[in-house]
Structures are given as C-alpha cells and as structure tokens.
Amino acid sequence: MDSLLDTANRVLPGGHFGNMAGLTLVEGQGVHVRDTAGRGYIDFLLGSGPMFIGHAHPAVTAAVMEQVPRGTTFFANNPAGIRLAEAIVDAVACADQVRFVSSGSEADMYAMRLARAFRGREKILKFEGGYHGMSDHGLMSLSPKREANFPQAIPDSAGIPAHIADDMLVAPYNDIDAMLALIEAHHDELGGVILEPFQRLIPPKPGFLAAVREATARYGIPLIFDEVVTGFRFAYGGAQSYYGVTPDLCTLGKIIGGGFPLAAIAGRADIMAHFDRAKVGDDKFLMQVGTLSGNPIAAAAGLATLEVLREPGAYEGVFALGRWMMEGLTARIKDAGIAAQVVGEPVLFDVVYAGGEIANYRDMQRANARYQAHVNRHMRAGGILKGDSKYYMSLAHTQADVALTLDAFEAALACMPR
C-alpha cells in the first residue's frame, strides 16, 4: 500500500487540494495543530481564516454534536440557518437580508450578478490585486504577472473566455483620483463596484472607502464590500463597522460557517429582492439554488462562533495581542536592519519585505519574495505555521504563543540569505 504522501501525489493534481502544499494536518485544538509526522505547530493559518476562535472550540463542537444526530442537510429552511441570518442582519450594517451559499467564491460571483441584475448594466469595477473568489470575473487582475494600463483587466487563469475581460474595469486600490475618473467615465456602463475594504493586507487610506461610497451613491451604482475575510473579524459588524463606511451589499464567509462550508450575500432589501421572483418578476429574477445552502451543521457552528464573539472583551483581547505581535515583529526587523515592515491590522497582518509605502498591489510586488519564502520556511521548521503572506490572529492565541513566534522570527532573520 502507498504511504499517504505517495497516495496524495498519485490521486491529487500537484499532490494537494489546491491550498497549502507539502503539509497534511491531522488534528487541531485551539491554535495548536499537528501533522501526520506528529509535528506540532502554533497555527496562524487557522484554516485560511475561519477558525477565529481556535480549532475544535468546545462551544462549536457541542453545537455541531447536537445537530448531527438530527440530520445533516435538508434542502429546505432549518432553524439554525434562519437564526444565523438573523444574527447577520443584527450585526452587519448593510444587511437587511441574507442569502446563503457554500463558499466565498460563490458569494462573490452572485453578488456581482445581483448588482448587475439590480442596475441593469454589465460592467463591474474592481481593484487590482483584490481577491473575489475563483469565478471567471473574480479572477480578473487578482495577481497579474504584467502591468496592464488601467482599466484593462487581465485574466489570472487558463480557461477563462477572453471576452470576460471586457466586462471588468480595474483600478488601483487606494487611489481616489483614479477611482473617481473611472466612475465618471463609465458610470453608465457599471453594474457595480466590488472591493475588499482591507485589500489582502493593505488597509484603506483615510478617506478612500468614503470616496468610493460617495461616488457610487452619486450614480446609484451598487457598492459591494467583499467581507469574506474581514466579516466578524475586524469587528462584530465587520470592516464596514471598523472603517465606518456602509456598502449596499457585502459577501461573508469563513467565520460565519464556524469551520464548515457556508458563505453569504447580504445587503439592502431592494437589491436582495432580485432573489425573489414574486417581488421582481421573471425578467429581473436572479436564479440561485445550492444543495447545501444554509446547511444546518454549518449554521449551528456559525451561530456558536458568533455567540463566543459577542462575549465582552472578545475583540479587545485579540486586538491587543495582535498589536503586541505587530510591535514585536517591527522591533526585530529594526534590530536586523533589513528593509521590511509590518503591514495590516492587529487581527490580520504580515511582514512585507520592502521599504516605502505599501498602498496597492504594485507596491506589494516590490517585496523580496526570497526573504518571505525563507522566513516562512524557517518558521515552519521551528513550529510556526502561517500562510504565504498572512498571520491570522485568533482569540485562542496567548502571549506565550506570540513570544515563541517572535523568537522564531528573530532566528529566521538571523540567517536571512543576503
């Protein structure tokens, strides 16, 4: 019989699921995960973000265990799903109503379609480097290998029909003048504007989100915040609460499914009405069905997660620890005398190996990828697990976890390839 690794290499393209290569995890408790070789890691990958309160949280496990024997999927409303939608409406400023899907990619695809259906125009404006899932439209200018002139969109994957690029306009993130010029020139063609309010690692400059809001509102163009990462992480009300700018629609995922496949489109009732044939009629109806949408296990896990997040001090604690870690990383970068900086917010950040301002995708391209790969590899060998370009903080991390991480970072810097 094959070893597990041989089997993976035989039956999976590239030997993996498309996510983290070269790692098979068997267990996670809190922020501690273990691989097939029995090696333990302090986890800053956190399942790429969903496990904001840690792996196998007792409240989530209990909620799931209560639901499992009662049935695992119905293709109909279920109480946990309805309660989760209610919790989202209560928490998220733009959310009058919620439609569930199973992944963030799906949520973004439908949100763009919904905006087009509402406004009756076809083009979507996005920002270069913004991640909006894996649909044909989502994969425009996410990580372009060449610098096209704005607003030309570049497909990031084989297999995408060339004409899709004509449906998208691309602007540089954090550039108010460029964004305004594009909206002025194209407002008649725009079905919507989509952005990550915090793009990958890059915070919005003061006034940027408000300017996008103002320009889109002026022309009645639906503004979509992709809050798949930031929802319930930056604040209980998401990045729209944290930065104080309310879009018309948002997409949510990761945390709201408590580690199970669940995502959502949420927004203004008059736009969400396009999911309701009885309200908008056949011509304006947006068909949307999904076998597992609003799955009761995922909804129960999400509800239990949100309950933990509503506990007093939940966000204060994780923000304080994240801030302390950002400061610790910054101090060690300074001591090592390398051109690098910590970019992000206290719940989601990383070291970018470049000097100067990091305000958009092209600034990010200046980063020294060799340094980043070295540090990530060295940290992983030292028992610290993170994604290629992110530290996700969790409520379950402790000062001791962070202290060990800072030691590992210092050790990685000490043997940096020059």
Ligand X SMILES: Cc1ncc(COP(=O)(O)O)c(C=O)c1O
Residues marked as catalytic: 131, 226, 254
For β-strands 223-226 and 249-252, DSSP reports them as parallel
What's the min distance (Å) between Cβ of 103 and ligand X? Answer: 4
Interatomic CA distance for residues 99 and 288, integer angstroms? 9
Question: Contact between 229 and ligand X (CB under 6 A)?
Answer: yes
Report whether 330 contacts 343 (CB < 8 A).
no
> In angstroms, how far is CA 276 from the centroid of its own chain?
27
Q: Is 214 left (phi over 0), alpha (psi -120 to 50) or beta?
A: alpha
The residue (of 263 and 326) whose beta carbon lies closer to ligand X is 263
Q: How far is CA 280 from CA 166, 249, 405, in A?
A: 28, 18, 54
Asked if residue 253 binds ligand X (CB under 6 A), the reply is: yes
Please tell me the distance from the alpha carbon of residue 396 to that of residue 124, in angstroms, as a whole number: 38
Radius of gyration (C-alpha) of the chain in whole angstroms: 21
Contacts of 241 (CB under 8 A, 6+ apart): 92, 93, 234, 235
- Residues 394-416 as b or e (16 or more Cβ within 10 Å = b): bbbbeeebbeebbebbbebbeeb
In the structure encoding, which two tokens stand for residue 132, read together?
Answer: 């909006």
For the chain, how many helices (H) and strands (E)? Answer: 14, 14
Write out the binding residues for ligand X, residues 177-216 only, by CB under 6 A: 196
Is 232 one of the binding residues for ligand X (CB under 6 A)?
Answer: no
**Residue closer to ligand X, measured from CB, 133 or 294:** 133
- Residue 132 touches ligand X, criterion: CB under 6 A: yes
Q: Single out the segment in contact with ligand X by CB under 6 A; choices: 89-97, 126-134, 152-160, 397-405.
A: 126-134
- Of 238, 234, 236, nearest in space to 225 by CA: 238
Residue with tokens 């915090």: 198
Would you give the binding string for ligand X spanning residues 24-53, x where CB under 6 A is met?
A: ------------------------x-----
Whose Cβ is closer to ligand X: residue 127's or residue 353's?
127
Nearest position to ligand X, beta carbon? 104
Binding-site size for ligand X (CB under 6 A) equals 14
| 248 near ligand X, rule: CB under 6 A | no
Would you give the DSSP letter of residue 237? T
CB of 49 to ligand X, least distance (A): 7
Q: Does 228 bind ligand X (CB under 6 A)?
A: yes
Tell me whether residue 155 or residue 328 sits nearer to ligand X (CB atom).
Answer: 155
Stretch of residues binding ligand X (CB under 6 A), selected from 82-90, 103-111, 217-225, 291-299: 103-111
How near is the Cβ of 239 to ligand X at its closest, in Å?
Answer: 10
Q: Does 350 bind ligand X (CB under 6 A)?
A: no
Residue 259 binds to ligand X (criterion: CB under 6 A)? no
In whole angstroms, the minimum distance from the beta carbon of 390 to ligand X comes to 9
Q: Does 131 bind ligand X (CB under 6 A)?
A: yes
Cβ of residue 252: shortest distance to ligand X, in angstroms? Answer: 10
Residue with smaller CB distance to ligand X, 133 or 328: 133
Measured from the CB atom, the residue of 127 and 409 that comes closer to ligand X is 127
Cα angle 366, 370, 376; round to 5:
110
Positions touching ligand X (CB under 6 A) are 48, 103-105, 108, 131-133, 196, 226, 228-229, 253, 263
